[in-house]
Structure 1
Amino acid sequence: MASPASWRQAFLDDRRPMEPTATEVNASLRPLENVRAVIFDVYGTLVISGSGDVGSADSDGDGRDAIMADAIASVWGDSSPDPMPGIEQLQQQIRSTNAARVSDQCPQPEVDIVDVWRHTMADSGVDVTPEDNDRLLRLAASYEAQANPTWPMPGAQKLLSELNTSGIRMGIVSNAQFFSPSLVEDLLDGSSLDQGGFDLNCCVFSNRFRHAKPGPKLFDVLRNGLARVGIAPHEAVYVGNDMLNDIWAASMAGLKTAWFAGDGRSCRPRQNDPRCRSLRPDVVLTDLLQLLSCLQSI
């Protein structure tokens, strides 16, 4: 894979400030005892996400074809296909790739978005070679930055700093793509995840395993990572914004749960899903920094 320097800075520089939008959810706080690890979702939790999640290619939205054409032209230049592929072709590639992998062992597949772009460009007549991998990385990052703008969630940087100082182990379980870790590293002032206090044993990204939440695979991987450092699932709290993908999935893995309901874009109660109707998180946060008051070990 090409150096992240070829796409990372442009990906971060494309962002513009955003503020959370209001929700009607009230905070519900209580002490969380014996917590030795805090595990985070990324999109809609640590970062504001314009779509509320990773995967801007999964939604139609206004102007997606134009954004896609602009991203392709900015990377491929005069070699861009004519006509340009549209969002429907990208989405169809995602659907067919996932459909081919659905099974009892993989109920919720995840794509590698670079492969999706590679096939989409090839289907549009572009001769994509292994040497084009850097361009595919820049293309995927450029489109995502425009179609799904992000910005640090208020309180996220301070929360991560406080947890790191306290010695509590930190991890991530997130539906993600190759560019997603850079959003967290930005909260760490550009430090790598491990330098910023995250335990790489406990950092699990869906694109690396080709499984997505709420399927059990990512939390199975997390449980194994926690076990390697001597932490039981009930000694970890998972913080996420989606009652199904985050709170239900984490609770099924035996973790304590903190539902973050601080941004209307990403607040996902999932009240119509039978798995969530009677589900109660251990705490409900409307501000990330409220978590600090719940942790007895700080």
Structure 2
Amino acid sequence: MDPGYKRLLAGLSPLAPIETGLPESGTPAGPVKAVMFDVYGTMFVSAAGDISQADTKKNMDEVVAEIFDDLEISGIPPEGIYESLTQKIKQHHDTQKRAGVEFPEIEIDRLWQEILKTESVRLARQAALAFEIRTNPVYPMPGLTKLIETLKKKGVAAGIISNAQFYTPLLFEHFTGSLPENSWARPDLLFYSYRYGHAKPSPLLFDMAADALWKAGIKEHETIFVGNDMLNDIYPAHNRGFQTALFAGDARSLRLHEDDPRCKNLSPEMVITGLGRIADIL
């Protein structure tokens, strides 16, 4: 890992999940040959509840000033950088929606390159990572180590379907010692939104995952998808034919969307409050 990224990630501190009060329920509807995971709010405790959801209680100008000082960025005033970032994200989303992308995803490092007016991808990525760490710190969800050990021991096909950025795989390397594809996940079952320009709840990532699973001889109904958001996770996974497990282990990130018509009559096969439950069913 790049030493600059490693130094920034070393600043992450333990975070404990907040109980939701929801009881566990359900069992798999059939044999489970593969498990696909959301990341933020499921495998990682997310202080803001999800990726790129900044803690708006913080003074963003002060946050950016700290980052610029730490990374020795000069010649650009920190005031208004956060507003510029949010504006660029909106502009990108609007452009992609006009092009027919229903749920667009950005590449955050490219936007930071534009803001910093730099050709250095490394500097832009350091700034993006530093900002995310300060505004939405994360930490492994309890039970993640046991889950990974179980996945490796049993040889279960496993992967990720998640809204993510370039730093998401780095978080696994920092916390677990290796990238998912070098440890517990199949390289062909990793679907990070930033790589495809589509974010959940777009069906695209789930369609690609289903196609990859079929090539491995695994059908949708033999796969369980685990996520903390009824709309972004359970809805598209259910529509594609996956079994589903709602992760209700942290009040910060649990999203039930009870008023959304797409979720009103939607029920996951399982509700779980800890990753150990997935390890137990494998």
TM-score normalised by length of structure 2:
0.94
Gaps of 5+ in 1: 123-127
User: Counterparts in 2 of 1:215-254, with a 5 A limit?
Assistant: 215-254=202-241
Q: Does 1:116 align with 2:111?
A: yes
Q: Counterparts in 2 of 1:1-298, with a 5 A limit?
A: 4-56=1-53, 60-77=56-73, 79-82=74-77, 84-103=79-98, 105-122=100-117, 128=118, 130=119, 132-187=120-175, 189-293=176-280, 295=281, 298=282
- Contact 2:248-2:272 at 8 Å conserved across structures: yes
Relative distance call for 1:61 and 1:216 in structure 2 (3 A) is farther
Distance 1:107 1:34 in 2: 33
Paired residue secondary structure (1:39): strand
Counterpart-to-counterpart distance in 2, 1:85 and 1:41: 32
> What SS does the aligned partner of 2:235 have?
helix
Aligned mates of 1:159, 1:25 — CA distance in 2: 21
In the TM superposition, what is the alpha-carbon distance from 1:83 to its structure 2 partner?
5.4
- 1:182-227 deviation per Cα after TM superposition (whole angstroms, max 9, x unaligned): 222345x312322212001111000000110001111122112212
Percent identity over the alignment is 35
Supply the distance in 2 between the matched residues of 1:250 and 1:109 (Cα, whole angstroms): 18
Given the superposition, is the C-alpha separation of residues 68 and 213 from structure 1 closer, same or farther in structure 2, using an over 3 Å criterion?
same
Counterpart CA distance in 1 for 2:254 and 2:78 is 38
Aligned residues: 282
Q: Distance in 1 between matches of 2:150 and 2:142?
A: 14
What is the CA-CA distance between 1:18 and the residue it aligns to? 1.0
Residues 1:278 and 1:84: Cα distance change in structure 2 (over 3 Å):
same
SS in 2 for 1:170: strand
Q: What letter is aligned with 1:169?
A: A
What is the Cα deviation at residue 11 of structure 1?
3.4
Q: CA deviation at 1:168?
A: 0.7
Q: Give the whole-Å Cα distance in 2 for the aligned partners of 1:246 and 1:121.
A: 34
CA distance in 1, matches of 2:173, 2:160: 12
| Residue 125 (structure 1) aligns with | none
TM-score relative to the length of structure 1: 0.89
Q: Distance in 1 between matches of 2:262 and 2:98?
A: 20
Residue identity in the other structure for 1:48: V
Matched residues in 2 for 1:104 and 1:258: separation?
A: 33
Q: Which runs of 5+ in 2 are unaligned?
A: none
Distance 1:66 1:31, change over 3 A: same
What is the CA–CA distance in structure 1 between the aligned matches of 2:64 and 2:203, rounded to whole Å? 32
CA distance in 1, matches of 2:5, 2:177: 11
Question: Conserved in 2, the CA contact under 8 Å of 1:69 and 1:85?
Answer: no
How far 1:118 moved relative to its partner?
1.6
